[in-house]
Amino acid sequence: MPNNKIQQITILGGGTAGWITAGIIAAEHWVENDKNSIQITVIESTEITPIGVGEGTWPTMRDTLKSMGIDETEFLSQCDASFKQGSKFVNWCRGDNDYYYHPFSLPEQYHQLNLANHWLQHKDKIPFANAVTFQAALCEEGLAPKQISTPSFSFFGNYGYHLDAGKFGPFIRQHCVNKLGVKHINDTITDINLHPNQDIKSVTTAKHGEIGGDLFIDCTGTHGLIIDKTYQIPFVSQKHVLFNDTAMAAQINYDSAEQPIGSSTLSTAQKNGWIWDIGLQSRRGVGYVYSSSHQNDDNAEQTLRQYIQSSTIKLDENDISVRKLAINPGHREKFWHQNSVAIGMSSGFIEPLEASAIALIELSAKYIAKQLPQSRSHMDIIAARYNKKFLERWQQILEFLKLHYVLSQRRDSEYWLDNTSATTIPADLAEKLTLWQSQCPYTYDSLVTEELFPSASYQYIYYGMGGETRPQFSRKIIDEQQQVNALIQQNRSKTAQLLNTLPTNRELLNKIKQYGLQNI
Amino acid sequence: MAKHELVNNVDHKDLKINTNRCTELGDNLWYTLTFPDEFRAVQAYYPIFFQKEGETGQFAPVALFGFQHQENLFLNNDGWDAGYIPITVARSPFTIGTQTQDVDGKPQQQRVLTLDVEHPRVNKDEGQSLFMEFGGNSDYLDSVAAMMEAIHHGIEANKEFAACLSELELLEPFTLDVELYDGSKHQMVGLYAINEEKLDQLPDEKMAGLVKSGYLKAIHFAMASQGNIGQLLARKNKQLGLKRK
């Protein structure tokens, strides 16, 4: 019989998923020098190179790093990381160099009033994001979200990070092993062994024999050693909604040591997909995500190369080495099965349009850390809830990413025609789109707690893409007018003040390298 | 506009420095940089806090003269009402410049004394002479040179002192809440002070390190200096003509 008490957590696979999960759970549960403490073991073969995509995070990463006791200055330097304040979407509306921002900061006073209602009357004069927050202006100027005197993890503008995924996993590993009591077994897994009740009993490794556990976490990426190879949990493809199934990635050097480091992820729509462009401290990461049903690989590589050429001054075509990755858009039918949970790419994967991959890992690990069953007998209840929650989250991701496509006026390729065709739009999203014609997206749209994307994000995309709502008039809206005018005035002066005082992303990163950030 | 010149007994032969203390001569400062070697003298009159330097985010100790920009509560019609003036103020209008000079055939950065000749203190009629009749340094100039040397070493010492305090987490944000006799309240943020609880809990070997480096003395001076906040407040009430109700 399986041991009833949950004490040993065994994580299969390292990489970003494995180590973030280990770190979050250890920070919550591990007690030094206590034999009754939860013990976490990560089996990771350093011979297997992690896939290393996922170079953008959400602001949630600040809390994740802080909760693990990581020093922000050290993280920034070890992971080649920079500050990300949102995304800039170029050419998504019409393809004539149009752009809009999805910043991380909520519209001013978001939970007191819905500024969108008021902005509708001025929509021809100012883009939505600029009217409701200062952050779009900061991004446009490539400014940092803070100053050198701002303490670690604090900010003027809410931020996450751009980071080198190849360095991030090893960095977290080192911290987990040295500071959080996580055991690292550097080995390859050869077998998964079951109890008679079908729970995982142990995993067999090439050099370290059998390794047991009470809860197993499958972070083996596309291998899916437990979720796929052992339990064959069905995969739910979402390719009929989001067509992009291939990515080509390249690393580009800066033209000079002074070239600006972008404050947002630059996402430029193409005829058959979109190109990400992110700035780390020492290089850029650029990649093309596209639909292989609409464009062949050779053509796609050409698209990427052209983009790179046009965005750099001195670059030899031969210096660009392009790596191809397959994306199977979709997720597992469930994630927690028996005494195992799949986290990271083993649970599902979708194009990185809103950098949801790492965020979902953080949320999954946090759920497990907070709801960790004390014994096996309570595990099935938590598993069922977890599965419901994360299926909802996948639905939200799907719906929110699709929103970026459906409002486009582009009709310059089959890809855009297909993307905007009603038959590819999930029913829940179609319902929202109907509703938003007569009322602004707001908090009432969220039917679940701990929503993945706040309704403010829907506002940024909907109005950024030119979505229409018939202006409403009500007693409340008229009463709010004075408050709104003051707020808009305040946002304007705050914007001007921050534009004057904040350093550029690169200036701040250089300063941090020299002086470090203070913790208070 | 400031115009800094290398001090020399040709161009500056006849110059005098007005060392009176008043707003017109730029003494309306609400704080100034200080450093551990000066804490003993400073803490007798002024509260010592720590501030972050805007350019580096690093902590540096400051002596407080007022509660807001351009407010120096020690200034009155008779000058500066305190027995000691911190040397980063007393040195005005001199600064340190660097100059490359050949030493044994190798170019080396040397510190040199420079003077802002456009500063309102600089004149030909009133105050302390820079040079004596035949070109030798006046005692005043020698004392200024010594101050500049002390400031240079003080700034270097501050870096190590601040790094030590940060590492031991001995600083904490300090919000200075001020209430005047008329009931009006003011709040100052951006100040940091010694975290006494952390200091009390410091392991013995760390404490021994603080004693050895002399930092413990500086820390105690900084802590004791907070008693001067009350006197600063009294000056403010007096200046505004407020009486205790």
β-bridge mates for residue A375, sequence order? A5
Query: What's the pLDDT at B189?
Result: 86
Instruction: Compare all CA atoms of chain A with the CA of B51 and give the residue at the minimum distance.
Output: A149
Query: Does A53 score more than 80 pLDDT?
Result: no
pLDDT in tens, A435-470: 999 999 998 887 777 788 999 999 999 999 999 999
Contacts B52 to A, Cβ<8 Å: 149, 518
Query: Does B188 score more than 90 pLDDT?
Result: no
| Active-site residue flag, A389 | no
Query: Does B192 score more than 50 pLDDT?
Result: yes
In the A/B pair of chains, how many CB contacts fall below 8 A? 30
Is B129:B123 a contact under the CB 8 Å cutoff? no
Query: Does A309 score more than 60 pLDDT?
Result: yes
pLDDT in tens, B194-241: 999 999 999 999 999 999 999 999 999 999 999 999 999 999 999 999
pLDDT in tens, A245-279: 999 999 999 989 999 999 999 999 999 999 999 99
Distances in Å between the alpha carbon of B10 and those of B6, B133, B134?
Answer: 11, 12, 11
Share of chain B above pLDDT 90, in %: 84
Give mean pLDDT, residues B52-65.
Answer: 95
Distances in Å between the alpha carbon of B141 and those of B10, B14, B92, B144?
Answer: 15, 13, 12, 5
Instruction: Quote the crossing angle between the two packed helices A15-29 and A165-179, to the nearest 10°.
Output: 30
Contact B58 A515 (CB under 8 A): yes
User: Which tokens belong to A2?
Assistant: 């399986």
Q: Which of B53, B55, B172 sits opposite A520 (nearest CB)?
A: B172
Identify which of A398, A435, A403 has the alpha carbon closest to the alpha carbon of residue A420.
Answer: A403
pLDDT in tens, B5-14: 999 999 999 9
Domains within chain A, CATH numbers bracketed: 8-55+164-238+329-395 (3.50.50.60), 246-326 (3.30.310)
Rounded mean pLDDT of chain B? 94
Instruction: Compare all CA atoms of chain A with the CA of B174 and give the residue at the minimum distance.
Output: A520
Alpha carbon distance A269, A8 (integer Å) = 46
Burial label for A495, CB within 10 Å (0-12, 13-18, 19+), is middle
Instruction: Compare all CA atoms of chain B with the CA of A515 and give the residue at the minimum distance.
Output: B56
B142-164 in b/e form (b: 16+ CB < 10 A) is eebbebbebbeebeebbeebbeb
User: Which tokens belong to A419?
Assistant: 């993307």
Question: What interface predicted TM-score (ipTM) does this complex get?
Answer: 0.82
Is A173:A71 a contact under the CB 8 Å cutoff? no
Rounded mean pLDDT of chain A? 94
Instruction: Compare all CA atoms of chain A with the CA of B166 and give the residue at the minimum distance.
Output: A518
Instruction: Compare all CA atoms of chain B with the CA of A510 and give the residue at the minimum distance.
Output: B56
Q: Does B54 lie at the interface with A, CB-CB under 8 angstroms?
A: yes
Query: 3-state class of A312 per DSSP?
Result: coil
User: Which tokens belong to A162?
Assistant: 């751009």
> Do the annotations mark residue A74 as ligand-binding?
no
Contact A148 B57 (CB under 8 A): yes
Contact A149 B192 (CB under 8 A): no
Is A246:A289 a contact under the CB 8 Å cutoff? yes
Contact B57 A515 (CB under 8 A): yes
Task: Provide the pLDDT confidence category of residue A344 given band limits of 50, 70 and 90.
Answer: very high
Task: Provide the pLDDT confidence category of residue A73 given band limits of 50, 70 and 90.
Answer: very high
Residue B127 to chain A, least CA–CA distance (Å): 40
Query: What's the pLDDT at B63?
Result: 98
Give mean pLDDT, residues A336-356.
Answer: 96
Residue A112 to chain B, least CA–CA distance (Å): 27
Is B188:B232 a contact under the CB 8 Å cutoff? no
- The contacts of residue A87 (CB under 8 Å, 6+ apart) are A101, A102, A264, A265, A266, A267, A354, A355
Using CA of residue B140, residue B142, residue B144, residue B150, what is the dihedral sign? negative
Alpha carbon distance B40, B225 (integer Å) = 9
Share of chain B above pLDDT 70, in %: 100
Identify which of A25, A58, A48 has the alpha carbon closest to the alpha carbon of residue A359.
Answer: A58
Distances in Å between the alpha carbon of A40 and those of A27, A169, A259, A349?
Answer: 11, 16, 43, 25
- The contacts of residue A113 (CB under 8 Å, 6+ apart) are A480, A483, A484
Contact B56 A511 (CB under 8 A): yes
Query: Does A3 score more than 60 pLDDT?
Result: no
SS3 content of chain A, % helix, strand, coil (to 5): 40, 20, 40
β-bridge mates for residue A462, sequence order? none
Please report, as a single letter, which amino acid is at residue A212.
G
Query: What's the pLDDT at B35?
Result: 97
Q: If you compute the radius of gyration of chain B from its CA atoms, what whole number of angstroms results?
A: 20
Which position among A5, A66, A84, A314 bears the catalytic label?
A84
Q: How many CA atoms lie within 13 A of B33 on its CB side?
A: 17
Q: Does A518 lie at the interface with B, CB-CB under 8 angstroms?
A: yes
Query: What's the pLDDT at A1?
Result: 44
Contact B172 A148 (CB under 8 A): no
pLDDT in tens, B224-235: 999 999 999 999
Query: Does B167 score more than 60 pLDDT?
Result: yes
Query: Does B109 score more than 60 pLDDT?
Result: yes
Within 10 A of A429 (CB to CB), how many other CB atoms are there?
Answer: 19
Q: Locate the domains of chain B by residue range.
A: 4-239
Q: Which of A149, A511, A518 sits opposite B166 (nearest CB)?
A: A518
> Do the annotations mark residue A148 as ligand-binding?
no
Query: Does A191 score more than 50 pLDDT?
Result: yes
Give mean pLDDT, residues A362-381.
Answer: 96
Distances in Å between the alpha carbon of B86 and those of A55, A423, B64, B128, B148?
Answer: 51, 77, 10, 19, 12
Is B33:B52 a contact under the CB 8 Å cutoff? no
Q: Does B56 lie at the interface with A, CB-CB under 8 angstroms?
A: yes
Query: What's the pLDDT at A87?
Result: 98
Query: Does A375 score more than 60 pLDDT?
Result: yes
- The contacts of residue B184 (CB under 8 Å, 6+ apart) are none
pLDDT in tens, A108-142: 999 999 999 999 988 999 999 999 999 999 999 99
pTM summary value: 0.91
A503 prior amide bond cis, ω within 30 = no
Q: Does A510 lie at the interface with B, CB-CB under 8 angstroms?
A: no
Residue A174 to chain B, least CA–CA distance (Å): 21
Query: Does A317 score more than 80 pLDDT?
Result: no
User: Which tokens belong to A174?
Assistant: 């080192």
Identify which of A496, A518, A509 has the alpha carbon closest to the alpha carbon of residue A141.
Answer: A496
What dihedral do alpha carbons B2, B8, B14, B19 form, nearest 10°?
50
Using the 8-state DSSP alphabet, how is residue B35 labeled?
A: -
Give mean pLDDT, residues A183-194.
Answer: 97
- The contacts of residue A342 (CB under 8 Å, 6+ apart) are A217, A218, A219, A224, A226, A227, A233, A332, A335, A336
Residue B39 to chain A, least CA–CA distance (Å): 23
Q: Which of A511, A516, A520 sits opposite B192 (nearest CB)?
A: A520
- The contacts of residue A99 (CB under 8 Å, 6+ apart) are A88, A89, A90, A91, A92
Query: What's the pLDDT at A52?
Result: 61
